[in-house]
Every structure is written in C-alpha cells, then in structure tokens.
Amino acid sequence: MKIRNIAAKTAAVLGCSALLAVPAIAGDHEGGSDLGAEVSVGYDTDYIFRGANLGSDLLWSDVNVSTSLSDGMDLNIGTWYANVTDAGGTDELDIYAGVSTDLGGMSLDIGSTYYYYPTDGNNTLEVGAALGTSIGAFDVSVGVYHDLDNENTYFEVGAGTSFDLTDTVSVDVGASIGNNQDEVIGGQADGLTALTVTIGAPIGLSDNASLNPYVGINVGLEDNDSGDDIFSGISLSVGF
C-alpha cells in the first residue's frame, strides 16, 4: 500500500498510499453481503512517499471496493494509478488488498501491494501490517512494511486528529515519521527518513462526495536531510 493508515481522511495526503485503507465515505456494511466502492482523482504538487520526493506534478486516480467479511472485519481491494508529469516522470500502478479487524480498542490492518512500473519494469511486491488506536482526540498508528523484491523493511509511526469547522467542512491534521532498514527508495539512506506533517480541509459536497484540499511539509531527518519540501494538493472522492 501506499499507505493511508494515519487517519481515514488524511491518509492519501500522508504518502499518496493505498494498502490498507477502507473508504471513508462508502458507508457501513453489514452481514458481509453489501459492497461499498469509492472513486478518487487528485493532483499533488509533489509525490511525497515515505519521506522521499519522487517528482513534481503528480496526477493520480484510485478505485477500490470494500465489504464486511464478518462482524468487525472488513476487506478492501483496489488500484491506484499515478503519473508524475514533470521531466523524467514515470507511470505507476499499485494493486492492493487488505483486511482490517477490530481488536477491541485497537485496529489491526494486514495487506499487500504490488507496485507495477510499465516504463522501467522495476516491479515490487510488499506486505505490511499496522496497529491503530485512539488516545484522546488523536488517532495513532504504528506499521511495518516489507518489500519482498527490494528487501527493504520500513517502519512508520503516525498520529492525526480531526475537528469540524461547519456542517460540511472539517480540519484534519496528521504527522508521520518513518525509518528505512535496508535497500531504500528515492536515494534515501537507511535510518530515519522524514517528518511529514499535513493539514487538510475536507469539504462535504453531498452525502457521498467530498473535495479534499491540503498543504504539507516534508522535513528530512538524519542523512536524508536534503532540504524541506512544502507541498499541497487536492482530490475529489465519490462513494457508492
């Protein structure tokens, strides 16, 4: 997954990911028979993934479906397609699936993502798991993700919170810190990658559609401190 595990509304912002996410506006499902679907399109000034800046002017789209397998257990399957449109940019297709379950005061997400790059062929398969819970007004999470082809293990800790401004507008604040163990992406060294902080203002357009603008900063840490990136973006999501 390009992981959306910090909070449902800020996940796309914190890494443009899609491994374990359950759609935020697709609705609740009961009995394992109902399906929910979400379609999203977005633009980001920079492709920030796990503390690395992979290029500018990112256009992306995401389609996923979810259902309840049983009481307290959900399945999410989808695809995320992206194109970095600046010079030297490339296409990327992520195919992901994940299962989330309620452990009583804590959630567990287990999933995998296949990263497909049609132009350079450096395709990889990743598996991951994340634990999440709420502490006061904050959602906190810790995750570990292992790329089977690049042989890199990535750890991430995140926190986020949200509050309503009006009946249709809310404010989401999220932050994450990651750590690379082995082979790394985007020219990063092993060790701490970056502190990524975002502030979003989701706007409810209807019962099943939202517009999601945000702004963020990515601060490199340790040997990955190559300068700070200020980035922003906007996305439209529709649930069915």
Residue by residue, pLDDT tens for the chain (240 residues) are: 343 333 333 333 333 333 333 333 334 444 445 789 999 999 999 999 998 888 899 999 999 999 999 888 999 999 999 999 875 667 999 999 999 999 989 999 999 999 999 888 789 999 999 999 999 999 999 999 999 998 889 999 999 999 999 999 999 999 999 999 876 666 677 889 999 999 999 999 999 999 999 999 999 998 777 668 999 999 999 999
Residue 3 lies in a domain: no
- Specify the pLDDT at position 72: 86
Residue 178 lies in a domain: yes
Residue 189 lies in a domain: yes
Residue 6 lies in a domain: no
- Specify the pLDDT at position 170: 97
Share of the chain residues as helix, strand and coil, in percent rounded to the nearest 5: 0, 65, 35
- Specify the pLDDT at position 188: 74
- Specify the pLDDT at position 14: 36
- Specify the pLDDT at position 18: 33
Residue 223 lies in a domain: yes
- Specify the pLDDT at position 186: 66
Number of folded domains that form the chain = 1
CATH number at residue 51: 2.40.160.40
**Residue 188 belongs to domain spanning:** 35-239
- Specify the pLDDT at position 33: 53
- Specify the pLDDT at position 20: 33
Closest CA to 126 of 105, 112, 142: 112
Residue 24 lies in a domain: no
* Alpha-carbon span 227 to 216, nearest angstrom: 14
- Specify the pLDDT at position 185: 66
Residue 5 lies in a domain: no
- DSSP conformation class of 239: E
CA 82 to chain centre: 13
Sequence-distant (6+) residues with CB within 8 A of 91 are 81, 82, 83, 117, 118, 119
- Specify the pLDDT at position 181: 87
- Specify the pLDDT at position 38: 97
**Token output for 67:** 């259902």
- Specify the pLDDT at position 65: 97
Burial 16-50 (b: 16+ CB within 10 A, else e): bbbbbbbbbbbbebeeeeeebbbbbebebbbbbbb
